[in-house]
Amino acid sequence: MLLVLALVAPAAACGGFVPTPGKLAASDAQQALFDLGTDRITVTYRARYEGDADDFAWVLAVPGTVTAVEEGDADRLDRLLALSAPVVSVDPAISEESGCGCGSSYGLKNDRAGGGGDTGVTVTGQGFAGDFEYTTLAATDADSLKTWLDDHGYDTTLIAPAIAEYVADPLDYEFVAVQLRPDVEPTEAGVVLDPLALTYGAGADGELHAIFPAKLGQSSSVSYVRTEWLVLGSGTATLSGWEPVANPDEKDGHPWDVAGPDYVDAAGLYAQLLLHHGDTRRKAWEAWAGAVDDGGTERWLTRYDAMVTPATNTVDPEFADGSSTVEATTVIYIQDETAFQEELTPSEEYYVAGVGMLGLAGWLRRRRRG
């Protein structure tokens, strides 16, 4: 029996969640969908917000000229995530129960006096996208950009070093500063926010870059950041900046990648797999690759998942369209405890991983290669 694994806590320190002065803001999970076009890229971000700030603030760095900021398509994102999610193969002896656009703009709600005369900063756009109010910014001076953000209700204390790196980057990054619209109710801890879609063109080098701005989240206060990257293109997306972890094909004729006894939660077991490969290493698991129907058009979807400490995000991952059309699927195989124990052999590598943040201790098998 194959069941699609509905993973817990999907969704972004993809930019920098920053607090309004005197408040707390954090995110421990993130999602991004890169739609690779010939002359533009649209990236859809979705964030799960955790904190006690009445007004959240969010800063995104974009490696090109922003041409549109719109509400993202939540249904499309959910569908592609479900198609590419790991599946659970339950031993037949185990019961199913045990297996486990822009409107007219106006000033930001935290806008204080000042900011309009900043040198080195140009407001390139402003408007609304779903529940969000945004301003797009171009900057030639990091201090001026920091001043603009601080003057408009963004506490840039933690993200100032990353901002300086992006401003100095020869790709000429633009920035999107986001807050909730004044008429939206304050967020609550753990709320998954509506998606936000950004469309942008080439960088200063004339090339398109599908770059995820991970560096803005490296000073987050959370213990680990869970990331799910989806890339739509013509072949399996390549990954640079981070190390891709190849998804093994099969073992003894069965395409399983992780195995565990039936008392271990499948989603937690998968999280342990990601943590084993990630943690303090910039590694991402190639979770899925294959053809999908994207609104009536056949596209090739690649999914990478990762789980790392925020401090690990010192390099941004970059994705590019690839030529390979070899399918890949992650399968988690659940067995009853006795059968699972009988399969343990000295010639294979196993370990017991206790992850306090997940609230479980489970078995995880790491498959051999070669």
Residue with tokens 């421990």: 28
Q: Report the pLDDT value the prediction gives residue 130, as an integer from 0 to 100.
A: 87
Phi, psi of 331 (to 5 degrees): -120, 130
Instruction: Name the pLDDT band for 52 (thresholds 50, 70, 90).
Output: low
Q: Report the pLDDT value the prediction gives residue 81, as an integer from 0 to 100.
A: 94
pLDDT at 205 > cutoff 50: yes
Average pLDDT of span 11-26: 50
User: What does 216-285 look like in DSSP terms, one character per residue?
Assistant: GGTT-SSS-EEEEEEEEESSPPEEESSEEE-----BTTB--SEEEETTS-HHHHHHHHHHHH-BTS-EEE
Rounded CA Rg of the chain = 21
Task: Indicate the average pLDDT of the chain.
Answer: 78
Tokens of 205: 């080098």
Instruction: Name the pLDDT band for 237 (thresholds 50, 70, 90).
Output: very high
Q: Report the pLDDT value the prediction gives residue 219, as an integer from 0 to 100.
A: 75
Residue with tokens 């030639």: 140
Phi, psi of 197 (to 5 degrees): -110, 125
Residue with tokens 């930001």: 108
pLDDT at 10 > cutoff 50: no
pLDDT digits (tens, 9 = 90+) for 89-100: 876 655 443 332
pLDDT digits (tens, 9 = 90+) for 298-344: 999 999 999 999 899 999 999 999 999 999 998 888 877 766 666 65
Residue 121 to residue 146: CA distance in whole angstroms: 10
- Which residues does 280 contact at the CB level (< 8 Å), separation at least 6? 308, 309, 311, 312
Q: Report the pLDDT value the prediction gives residue 179, as an integer from 0 to 100.
A: 86
pLDDT at 272 > cutoff 90: no
> Residue ranges of the alpha helices (H) in the chain?
74-84, 142-151, 160-168, 266-277, 337-342
pTM (whole model) above 0.85: no
Tokens of 234: 């013509």
pLDDT at 69 > cutoff 80: yes
